[in-house]
Structure 1
Amino acid sequence: MDVVAKIVVGLVALIHGYILVLEMFLWRTPRARRAFGTTPEFAEQTAVLAANQGLYNGFLAAGLVFGLVAGGGVGYPVTVFFLACVIVAGLYGGATASRRIIVVQALPAAVALVLTVLAH
């Protein structure tokens, strides 16, 4: 993959790593509540669900990192697959939870996917 594509894929992985931390470990904190627009009561009631979501975001990040590290014939299809997963998750989240998710998740992944395909 081209260096620019790798950097953007890495940024998408970092975004999902950060979301993992917010959802799994910081869900009840003011920082996470501000990021997700939740109240302390809602955060308390949904902490287990958020941690589960965080784990899935971590899997997306791990897949992208694996694709970058593996490189070559293995890394390219893995990277494309996980970017497509991020795009689908971002579009679904944008349609069901908040349109902001499209900008935060789906758009960077779409840019990374285009750059990755063009660099291949």
Structure 2
Amino acid sequence: MSTPTTLTLYLARRDAYAAFLSAADQESSVCYWEAEARYETSEAAIAARDEAYAVTRDTCNRIMVEPTGPQKEAHALVEQLRRLGRADTQEQDWASFKKAREVFVHACRMHLNEVLGA
């Protein structure tokens, strides 16, 4: 049975994990657009990359400050994003990114179930 404190903790963690996933998805889109040269200027590409990176870093930090949960999986997803950002279109490994994302989502589910005592 969950208590109000447990439910509050669950919701806070769920929101942090979802925010990180959204940030990672946005950053991956920027990586794709940049590799495809879809930005009008190099300055626009740099600005988009910097903004996406800042949001991903912020949301990841929210996960990392607590010594529990899917920290290892979040770090692995960030590493995949960094690889996407350094690669050109032919070198981008989307299968590895998607796998790291799936592993993170699964770890989040398991951790959130533990929080609720399910």
TM superposition score category, shorter chain reference: 0.3 to 0.5
Q: TM-score, normalised by structure 1?
A: 0.43
Larger Rg: 2
Q: Structure 2 length as normaliser, TM-score?
A: 0.43
Larger relative helix fraction:
1
